[in-house]
Structure 1
Amino acid sequence: MKLSLQSKLTLQPLTIRKDKKHYIVEEVTSGEFYEMPQVCIDAIEQINRGGSLEQIEIDLKQTYPEETIDMVDFAEQLLELQLIKEVDGVTVEVEKNRSSDSGFTWIPSIVGRFFFNRFSNKWYVVLLAINVLFFIVNPQLFPSYKDIFLFETVMPSLLTWMGVSLVLVLIHELGHILAVRSYDLPAKLGVGHRLFFVVFETDLTPAWKLAPKQRNILYFGGLCFDQLMLFIALSLQLFFDVSHGLIAGILGLIVLDIFIRTIYQCCFYMKTDLYYVFENCTGCYNVMENGRKLLSRWVPWIKSPTATETFAGEEKTVKLYSIFYVTGILLTCSLFIFYFIPQTIYAYSKILPGFLQPVNDPVFWDAVVFVGQSVLILGLLLYSWMKNRVENAV
């Protein structure tokens, strides 16, 4: 559809909210959100008053003499985002679907507010402090890479760890869901995969309907439930006589799993919950892309995003994020050095002698299944890397 300075637009229903630095624009029909500066909001308001693009451009150039104003270009961006309903009375075809508002609404908001309110939110902070104190006073509680091996054979240990980890991930996501419901908003739980591992992720898009301070509650929801589970596991180990070996092993496995996932939350080169908290507190909502763009000047293997924009005053925040980005990579390397690599070496030291056992011995088949799984995972990783290289080369 051709646009000109004489064009007049009719926009889709929009809701505009002031944020920390700029404005959050919600497209009501689809439930999508966009960050825009003041000049864009003024342009939208004049469009809604029925002004032509030419007249709006003249007015904005007088109001913002320092800005480069091009209303045709801005209108084309709105058209690309499918925010325009009509151009000169002609309806614009859109492909967006109305957002679903039914996600977990069967959970009463009062249940969410029971777990997330002014009083309970402070208690989650207290639990974090107590958990740290537990580790300081009782260093023996600190997780070891061997905590994953509950049985003499490796595969039952790995299957138990996967089961425990799945339950803990669901509890983590339940924290997000209840935090969303505490504001009487819908919550969606998505199911995806990384290689062949199932991944659950709560869609926190409704958080944009809230003030920045309220959004942090939604981002912290999963970590709050993690700290609650960690507190329970550590307390049982400290204050109760857990004589059964399997129960004690599962408690240690819970501590190990939550500890590792908490470290991962600090890896800001991924969009973790803590990354979104950082983004929300600073008001820089494209800080990862701009941080990667900054780091790509010195680190060649960090690919620079092609379409990024740094608003005025965000340079210091981007530099700070770049430090967190590198720190996250170092934390990941530390996990490999102190946990993942020792676990792999230890597993193979227990597995390989199994090939010397008779075929009818369960230890032999434990070794076969474990090595077969390792080969499959390695093959999938190589396939994934090769596929990415081919796609990037095209």
Structure 2
Amino acid sequence: MLNQLTLVRDGDGYVVGSPGTAAYVEVPEIGARIIEWLQQGASVAEAGRRAEELAGEPVDVADFLTVLAGEGLLSGSGDDGRIDGTRRQRAGTLLFGRVAWGLYAVLALAVPVLLVAVAGLRPTYRDAFPFTTQLLNILAVSGLGMLAVAAHEGAHVLATAALGLPSRLSVSRRLYFLTFQADLTRLWSVPRRARYGPLLAGLAWDAVVLAGALAAQELLAPGSVAARLLRALVLLQFTAILAQAMVFVRTDVYALLVNATGCKTLWATKGALLRRYLRRSTPADERQLADADPREVVWARRYLWLYVPGTAVALYYLATFVLPGLPHLVALCVAPIRADGLTTAAAWEGLAALTVAVIPSALALFGAIRGGWGVVRRVISARKSTRTSA
């Protein structure tokens, strides 16, 4: 299993991991040297002797290997997780090679130029209603939105595959927003500079789709169904690109920030620091801050200036638009079903809209509320325990 481990220098230490199990930990340089010696065929005793010479004191190599095993680095089926030679990697290399990135850069620059120069191409809120029937609007916009998000996350997967690393898609949420999520854990197997491509791939693909939708409008008859759907897609992609600036919900821009700063526990450190400021920190929070690199704490403090106002805006949007609008949306979908049962086209449209748009949103909202309440309960419990022990 040791031969499968990857070693990547990151700051003052090394990230060691197993692409086969997607388990990664940071080790000091002496740990990296031990792994290299063992991979080259040295025995545990020989690696210990070399480590003692390098460190100037005895080093327990067996205990170090036990720690790696406890982190899941020495388990697995023997497959290193790479996918060389597969169609996915070939597609990733084609779509995210140097030539492709050059094209994406040109299109990304062309989009704002077009939107500024041609007023008729700029999206408006009216583009969210391509049909006269509200339920059809829900279905169309929801369907286009989910397809666009799937394409965005699929771009991450393919760009990661171009590096010979696997990824996968899953359905998750950010705050109360339902979304697809690409697992990019195995990017820890490559140097930090090589991670930018997979992290930027989603935004690049958003720009490509937006540019294509803007250009395709010129080929369609104004007012046609296809043209109206393209306008809806333009609005969705424009909004999606702007939404990536919402770093307080760990968007692609957040991932780029983490990669650029070299932070490894920014989100956890930020949370611990915020609870300390609110005088609600737990023993685990204090351990997190004590163990964190001072540079990480500095960046967490800076990140709070983005996180706190951003979360406040998101909660305001939730209270002002989402919560009041959801019951109305449900009533709109259910009304034709109550009136005629599932015997009319309108009733079936309502059921489809309820399935596609309302139910996933309600589930994501419920999950966000449950998660938030869980955090509140843990903080209250920790505070009670602290007072009791005192």
TM-score in terms of structure 1 length: 0.71
Indicate the residue corresponding to 1:171 in structure 2: 151
Q: Alpha-carbon deviation of 1:132?
A: 1.8
Is the 1:177–1:202 Cα contact (8 Å) retained in structure 2? yes
Deviations 1:212-252 (A, max 9, x none): 22111011112111110001112234x44532432222112
1:385 to 359, 369, 372: 369
Tell me how far 1:145 sits from its aligned partner. Answer: 3.4
Alpha-carbon separation, structure 2, partners of 1:272 and 1:168: 15
Q: 1:388 to 1:28 in 2, by over 3 A?
A: closer
Secondary structure of the corresponding residue to residue 269 of structure 1: helix
User: Secondary structure of the equivalent of 1:169?
Assistant: helix
> Within the alignment, does 1:18 sit opposite 2:9 as a pair?
yes
Decide whether aligned partners of structure 1 residues 379 and 228 sit closer, same or farther in structure 2, where only a CA change above 3 A counts: closer
Aligned: 1:80 with 2:70: yes
Is residue 2:309 matched to residue 1:319? no
Whole-Å separation in 1 of the counterparts to 2:69 and 2:323: 54
Q: Find the counterpart in structure 2 of residue 122 from structure 1.
A: 102
Rate the CA distance shift 1:173–1:323 in 2: closer, same or farther, 3 A: same
Indicate whether 1:203 and 2:183 are aligned. yes
Q: How much identity, in percent, do the aligned residues show?
A: 21
| Unmatched segments (≥5 aa) in structure 2 | 382-390
The answer on whether the counterparts of 1:24 and 1:208 sit within 8 Å (CA) in structure 2 is: yes
Of 5, 8, 29, 1:38 maps to 29
* 1:329 aligned residue (307, 311, 320): 311
Is 1:265 the counterpart of 2:251? The answer is no
Partners of 1:186 and 1:206 within 8 A in 2 = yes
In the alignment, is the contact (CA less than 8 A) between 1:135 and 1:141 conserved in 2? Answer: yes
Give runs of aligned pairs for residues 156-195 of structure 1, distance below 5 A: 156-183=136-163, 185-193=164-172
1:99-158 residue CA offsets vs partner (Å, 9 max, x unmatched): 574769531645433322333323323322221222333455443334222222222211
When residues 252 and 29 of structure 1 are mapped into structure 2, their CA distance, relative to the original with a 3 A threshold, is: closer
2:156/2:201 contact within 8 Å kept: yes
Task: State the match for 1:50 in structure 2.
Answer: 44
Secondary structure at the aligned position of 2:221 is classed as coil
SS at match of 1:297: helix
| Residue in 2 that maps onto 1:252 | 231
Counterpart of 1:217, as a letter, is: G
Cα separation, 1, equivalents of 2:235 and 2:283? 35
1:88-103 alignment runs, 5 A limit: 96-99=76-79, 101=81
Contact 2:167–2:182 (8 Å) recurs in 1: yes
Picking from 216, 222, 225, the partner of 2:196 is 216
One-letter amino acid matched to 1:120:
A
Q: For the residues of structure 2 that align with 1:39 and 1:288, how far apart are their CA atoms?
A: 28
Corresponding residue pairs, total: 367
Paired amino acid for 2:16 = V
Contact 1:21 1:283 in 2 (8 A): no
Q: Specify the alignment match of 1:5 in structure 2.
A: none
1:257 CA drift (Å):
1.7
SS at 2:24's partner residue?
A: strand
Give the aligned partner of residue 385 of structure 2.
Answer: none
Contact conserved, 1:173 with 1:222, CA < 8 A, in 2?
Answer: yes
Structure 2 counterpart of 1:88: none
- The one-letter code matched in structure 1 to 2:104 is Y
- Structure that is richer in helix per residue: 2
> How far apart are 1:197 and its partner, in Å?
9.4
Give the TM-score taking structure 2 as reference length.
Answer: 0.71
Query: Aligned match of 1:293 in 272, 280, 288?
Result: 272
Specify every segment of 5 or more residues in structure 1 that has no aligned partner in the other structure, as ranges. Answer: 1-9, 64-68, 85-93
